A = this chain, B = another copy of it.
Amino acid sequence: MRDHDGSGHDADGRGYDKYAFEPFAVTVDLAVLTLRAGALHVLLVERGQEPYAGRWALPGGFLLPEESAEEAARRELAEETGLADVTGLHLEQLRTYSEPGRDPRMRVVSVAFAALVPDPHPDSVRGDPRPAPLEPHGGGDAAQARWTPYDAARGLAFDHDRIVADARTRVGAKLEYTCLATAFCPPEFTLGELQQVYETVWGTALDRPNFRRKVLAAPGFVEPVPGAARLTSGRGKPAAVYRAGPATALHPPLLRSPREGRPA
């Protein structure tokens, strides 16, 4: 039985010495997701060095000596997005990837996160010329950063294809039984915008009246902003404006039924 002791060898005497090994590097990788122009997008950076020079990859980096993986992920997120306030953004630990060959140079154990951010380029329709809340930039480095449609994010460096796929699966599943969808929305949003989150991530169309009822029936999911109303696409009746509520879990869940709605 190996154990957490500091004796320099494991308890069954096989001579395990943790300092004798090539050190393990511990990193975080971030799948920063957003919804843009009705499609799921991922933030990618272009690699400057080998291996995988010139290939696109997820942003990420090493843990500092005195920070947890969550803190490192939030720090990286702030650096990558240039957004001042990342404290409110949802960070979701996906899983840890530790296969020996995943980095050709050394053992790199990577803790992967999904981060959900509101659309960095809101449609900029009339009456809402808000400054874009975040714009990717490549740090002080020459490498560029870019929002890429989920379907075009293939052939990434390392095992990042798999991380991106895992992020999408996890987020899609969590929309069903948590209040996660509001993390894709700006602080104030309409039910139509919230419905677009579900439709985009799930790839299905939902019945608007039923969606509305289910969302409003879930206690603490959203709460109305009194008196506020906003036009969403320039036409039609102005929609009531809502904020994210205090709940995190969603009861009852919003199941994606195999036959709900018409195909997108």
List residues of A whose CB falls within 8 A of some B CB.
1-7, 10-13, 16, 18-19, 21-27, 45, 47-50, 57, 59-63, 65-70, 76, 79-80, 93, 95-96, 98-100, 103, 105-109, 111, 138-141, 143, 145, 157-158
Q: How many copies does the complex hold?
A: 2
B65 & A21 in contact (Cβ 8 Å cutoff): yes
A24 & B24 in contact (Cβ 8 Å cutoff): yes
B69 & A3 in contact (Cβ 8 Å cutoff): no
B145 & A108 in contact (Cβ 8 Å cutoff): no
What's the minimum C-beta distance from A52 to chain B, rounded to whole angstroms?
Answer: 8
Residues from chain B with Cβ under 8 Å of A12 in the complex: 79, 139-141
B48 & A11 in contact (Cβ 8 Å cutoff): yes
B99 & A96 in contact (Cβ 8 Å cutoff): no
Which 7 pairs of residues, A with B, have the shortest CB-CB distance? A2-B61, A1-B139, A23-B23, A11-B141, A5-B49, A69-B98, A12-B140
Residues from chain B with Cβ under 8 Å of A18 in the complex: 23, 25, 62
A96 & B79 in contact (Cβ 8 Å cutoff): no
Q: Which residue of chain B has its CB nearest to the CB of A173?
A: B177
A3 & B61 in contact (Cβ 8 Å cutoff): yes
Report if A111-B140 is in contact (Cβ < 8 Å); known contacts: A2-B62, A16-B62. Answer: no
Residues from chain B with Cβ under 8 Å of A145 in the complex: 1
Complex-state Cα separation, A143 to B10, whole angstroms: 12
